[in-house]
Structure 1
Amino acid sequence: MDERRGPWYLLTGLLMGLALGLLYAWFLDPVQYANTSPDALRPEFKDQYRILIAQAYPYSGDLGRARGRLALLKDDRPSFELGAQAQRILAAGGSVDTARALARLSSDLNLPEGSLPPQTSAGTPAANDPALPPTATLSPDEQIQTPTPAPSPTRPQPPTFTPRPSPTRQPTQDAPFRLDDQQVVCDPQRPARLLAVETLDGGGNPLAGVRIQITWEGGENAFFTGLYPEISPGYADFVMQPDVTYTLRAGEGGELVEGLSATPCKDAEGKAYLGGWKLVFVLP
């Protein structure tokens, strides 16, 4: 008997085999990932990984360790990725502290080894680390004397003192910066309407991680210094819109600078364009 079969039985077999294979792979014996390399993570988990590194860095002060951990992500430009993530967090209304930590690490990745904050013997940041609140020695009137056990007949016991809680001190980056210099910038080689800000400490050294608050009628924004370390760790900028007047402040209680807007300029050929400003803030 000559039985002719069409191709449908082959197609049916393939479909059944595919269905059984998917059933086995997805439900009976699914792949389980363990000890996955950070570069294989999804983008949102890579972001979380960077945040953990940035938040740990101020406490360890170990830039080499932070650099090594970031290298596991295999980013082409780790400093750029940190800065871009900080900007995304700010744009989404996320944590200011998280954005500041990312900005600081982004800046420090570009600093020479000799200029890094020193470490204490315990591996924690030194007391002069500008990213941490300063510590203070309590005077006797700031301390609370508590009762002590009765002195021993053979050896008197000195009184003990419990420090009185003091108000939380703000980090250096939130200190009241004052305006030191303000200049109109007419440079056709620079982006139009650019508002450039630089923050310095009392010794003239640039400070990264300083929050810049800018407001205008009907809106406000915030950005940080340190996201462009190739220019300066203390540098930040903002592109102004035409016919909008801005007010800017560096730090939480810094001096307000009002009346900032894109300024009319002319290039060498007499062609008009809108220039910007350069503001320099320093700690008093």
Structure 2
Amino acid sequence: MIRTPERKPPLYLITGLVFGLLLGLVLAWLVWPVRVSSVGPSSLSVEDKEQYRLMVALAYAASGDMGRAQARLNLLGDADPVRALTSQAQTALANSATQREARALAGLAAELGSMLSSQQATLEAVNTPGSAEVGSPVDTAGEGARYSLDSQQLICGAASDAPEVRVYLFNAQNLPEAGVRMQLQSSEDHAELTTGNHPSEGPGYAEAEITPGEVYTLSIQDTEMMGAIQAAACQTAEGEPAWGSWQLIFHAIP
């Protein structure tokens, strides 16, 4: 009986297989490793978002910390967080086994809606021109002042215009003076101004927006010149309420 010799796989096949395996491991671990990144709440599935929203509502029901609850809900990226909570609460309410969850969701929706409405009302009251009387800026220039106030006027432009302080500076020869530094500041705001940055208004002109409700002082070259500067309401030529801008004209003291 003749035995057929057993054939062994060629050495180069084994070598190639081992080499390929090693190369694959190197590529997978070192060259192109799998990068695991954290997934934010906004990237979750609809079901996972509902679970996240429920956990926020239950945590709020236990702690009453609205600031933390709102911050967590903001991470979901809902266009209307109150509506999303309300809708989920209604779904939970239809199931007798999820009444506790429904109460937590509805409670958070009600409190969040009330807070957001209050914030919006406050914002509109502050930023909408009203009938409240606001005094005129007061000349506070003292010793050492290089300029004196020549005139002040409330200018009423379009209803969409933001309130501003507009300053015109003239030298002793009654020529516009460029390159003069000024500071406009309140307890919450600070602006650095330099005349000449608005060529269309002339070299002696500078301007800065002011925030309704804030009280500002104006200093020229580190010397206080005006105080009690506030955004004042006015009426446009079309009869619309608007914020006016204070125009202040100064001349250098000879």
Q: Which has the higher helix share?
A: 2
Max radius of gyration: which structure? 2
Q: Please tell me the TM-score bracket, short chain as reference.
A: 0.3 to 0.5
Q: Which has the higher contact order (CA 8 A, sep 6+)?
A: 2
Question: Please, what TM-score do these two structures have when normalized by structure 2?
Answer: 0.41
